[in-house]
Structure 1
């Protein structure tokens, strides 16, 4: 009978009880975690296949009911083959009832122990320790599993042999067999990890906190070399392109793609028998906890003319002792404990330019943060700590934001207006009427070539930039202050508009006023971006 014969084929080939149940088409997750249910579930799957088989004759069913029922039952060793510790050792009774001997069960030829050792107490202990050692404050977790490529190869070979021996066996589980193995592992291991760590296991949906488990198999490469015979051209090409496929000549994706092109007869010609029994099971190559990024936004003022926005290095040598980024992020990350971080802002000012008014919007992306549960009071305390630690900058409106909100920052950089105040000097003096004329000028479109001071790191180009309005008032016969309200198109260079950059910005302030003008100091007075929202603190 089909069900009994398929079960016998899988058991004789060397599949563990969980892999056998997967091949038999059982997809009820809770059956795999409870070993006491696996035997019954396997019997049910065998019976179901028997009922569906065209090979069952009604006359035989009527005359041999008891015999058939006995034939449907699975081997009594089903449970024992999944009761596994480090070495898959179980106690078996010997010939003498008073003596016992240890029997070592073979590693599964399909999952290479993923559903055996990978679900054992030792494995659970290692996984739970990885979560605890990570120190993350997430309430729940999900699991991600990466398997050796040879598991995919072994699965394809077993399916081919199974369907050759039993052509009427359903093939619906073949396409996503590896996905099912992963799901079974997660559903067996996940609840036990949850109990061990005090966190809720989340399966089937994305969770912000994930334990990434990568399995390795010592003979993975040796197993996969048979692909050179099965699909010679494809894998010979991949081996020649060693730079492109340095670590992935025999990847799961490549093996799956190859088997889609191969016929069963081509596979059977090279692989007429089941895969060999592994000498040892898979092991955990890496266990990495990954928390989704957390984003914290705010606005900063910069009062120093000797402070870069980000750490400033030239040819590996640090130019200044600190930066806006470090003054903010060092204090924040002392609490958040992120693996890495990225600082972004709505535009940036030069080292010698102050940022006044309501400040410049910024965002800090914390990569793999350990602490994400920060109350409003805690965030306010962090803001106060930053402000008390230095007089060079000040932070306001500090808050946690969603990733989708970051588009506001980019839009602000490219579209919103900014207000500047420039202290300018006309060495040979200037006419007050020229200052009055500035405020009456309509919008002014500049043609700016890439400034000489940044030409070493930016491509040469001419860009149009618009000045919305200008006004100026005198300081003395040589100095005056010019207030400039500009569009926020990326790359408007204010200093070059004032002194012309050797004529590379046209028109420029000196040309408009009819005298030689240079800039002494520049301040950003306002960044007209109403984000992030005000916090009232």
Structure 2
């Protein structure tokens, strides 16, 4: 970082290089020194940063008529604190964010009246000093960045990333013009609508611009600031061992259904570790509360909102271990990791192509025969038409869907002729309970219709979910 002496020397050299008559004119119009720099397109960050810390340059008792005090770091503040970098740094620490961010983005929102002021001043100096038509100023936002970023990056211990999409931590600064300034701005707009061309003398035009600029600087802008982190995504697979645990939190008439939920067990542990505001749980499909999820497990994502801490790879393993070592052992997770926002897209892509395998304990109303085993096992890629099941009609549209049963296998149970294990692999979204009992004819064919008898599922487990593109 440059020393104060070097910055002082560079500042003096920049000032000497500017036309003194124009500078004095702009100072008389009430412009602050940083606005004068941006009028002449001075892009040296060190100059802006040095002047922001050096009240010698510019009159701090007068509000800049061009930027309304924004580049003077002046605004309405009950505590009379105008050290913006320190205000932001204190906010970040106070809200519990880690300050050692690799990068952060800075979003600055300023009143439109400042852009209108720039346009008016540009017209003024074009007429009075013969500036070119295509002359543009450095924007107030860029000049503000030049002044703010060096001390802010030092305080936060990270670099500002100009591409907001590449930064996970965001700081937003909002300046709002006072009511009087907005009224003046609206009056000028109406005047401009009725005066599309200049009909007065050069001197009159210049005087009009000067008068407008002086009138707009009534009081500093109101200033608010906030910070937030973009969502974190944790991906993995979960296994559910209890037949009394729902996938998501299930409350009916203030009464919990089931003893817990997969969503709460996984999500709340992650939420606590990240010190975040909230989370959303997403899974590749769902199982009923009385269905276990076994085998490799079901892919899931936990979307964490506004995390104060980003866990390391080792910390994520600690979260996984904590979930897996709870006393009740209702749910277990595997392969959990931070996956980035692309994890959501990958899961959605995989959902459309996935196949699911099940194991069901089935009862039928007659003894099972050898030809039944051969018939069911021989069926491959069986097309099944399923109307929305009666049990979910209250929350889902009444549609008819075609699903594929890729293969089935029947396994007899010793000592029982009316019970067997049904192993099957199906297309995603197939209603397995209804495929067994037929749902009063709403699913056809069904195990019951194929065997010509009544069939019921007594227990059902998901044993495998094959998704080629996500967390195998």
TM-score, normalised to structure 2's length? 0.83
Is residue 15 of structure 2 the alignment partner of residue 15 of structure 1?
A: no
2:438 is matched with which residue: 494, 497, 500? 500
Is residue 322 of structure 2 the alignment partner of residue 382 of structure 1?
A: no
In structure 1, how many angstroms separate the alpha carbons of the residues matched to 2:45 and 2:85? 18
1:345-394 Cα distance to aligned partner (Å, 9 max, x none): 22111111110011111111222211114132x32222111111131111
For 1:134-153, list aligned pairs within 5 A: 134-137=95-98, 138-140=100-102, 141-153=104-116
In structure 1, how many angstroms separate the alpha carbons of the residues matched to 2:198 and 2:293? 73
For 1:27-426, list aligned pairs within 5 A: 27-35=43-51, 79-81=57-59, 88=60, 105-118=61-74, 122-137=83-98, 138-140=100-102, 141-173=104-136, 177=138, 180-197=139-156, 199-206=157-164, 207-219=167-179, 221-226=182-187, 229=190, 263=196, 265=198, 273-275=211-213, 276-285=215-224, 287-314=225-252, 318-376=256-314, 378-389=315-326, 390-426=328-364
Q: CA deviation at 1:532?
A: 5.2
1:150-175 Cα distance to aligned partner (Å, 9 max, x none): 3233333333444344453453415x
Other structure's SS at 1:115 match: helix
In structure 1, how many angstroms separate the alpha carbons of the residues matched to 2:134 and 2:24? 18
Q: Does the Cα contact within 8 Å between 1:497 and 1:507 map onto a contact in 2?
A: yes
Please report the RMSD computed on the Cα atoms of aligned residues, expressed in angstroms: 3.1
Q: CA deviation at 1:530?
A: 5.2
1:425-450 Cα distance to aligned partner (Å, 9 max, x none): 22344434213311111210111222
In structure 1, how many angstroms separate the alpha carbons of the residues matched to 2:35 and 2:351? 55
Q: CA deviation at 1:217?
A: 2.8
Other structure's SS at 2:301 match: strand
In structure 1, how many angstroms separate the alpha carbons of the residues matched to 2:45 and 2:423? 69
1:484-527 Cα distance to aligned partner (Å, 9 max, x none): 11122xx3211121122221222222111111212222110011
Q: CA deviation at 1:265?
A: 4.7
Other structure's SS at 1:518 match: strand
Which residue of 2 is the match for residue 72 of structure 1? Answer: none
Other structure's SS at 2:113 match: helix
Structure 1: runs of 5+ lacking an equivalent? 39-76, 82-87, 89-104, 234-261
In structure 1, how many angstroms separate the alpha carbons of the residues matched to 2:257 and 2:218? 58
1:461 is matched with which residue: 399, 409, 420? 399
Deviates more, 1:110-119 or 1:468-477: 110-119
In structure 2, how many angstroms separate the alpha carbons of the residues matched to 1:114 and 1:344? 44
Q: Does the Cα contact within 8 Å between 1:324 and 1:393 map onto a contact in 2?
A: yes
TM-score, normalised to structure 1's length? 0.73
Change (3 A) 1:279 1:316: farther
Q: Does the Cα contact within 8 Å between 2:243 and 2:290 map onto a contact in 1?
A: yes
In structure 1, how many angstroms separate the alpha carbons of the residues matched to 2:403 and 2:304? 34
In structure 2, how many angstroms separate the alpha carbons of the residues matched to 1:462 and 1:152? 58
Structure 2: runs of 5+ lacking an equivalent? 1-17, 76-80, 200-204
Q: CA deviation at 1:482?
A: 0.9
Q: CA deviation at 1:471?
A: 0.9
For 1:431-442, list aligned pairs within 5 A: 431-442=369-380
Other structure's SS at 2:306 match: strand
1:322-350 Cα distance to aligned partner (Å, 9 max, x none): 21011012112211112222211221111
In structure 2, how many angstroms separate the alpha carbons of the residues matched to 1:480 and 1:143? 64
How many residue pairs get aligned? The number is: 434
Change (3 A) 1:506 1:118: farther
Change (3 A) 1:368 1:36: closer
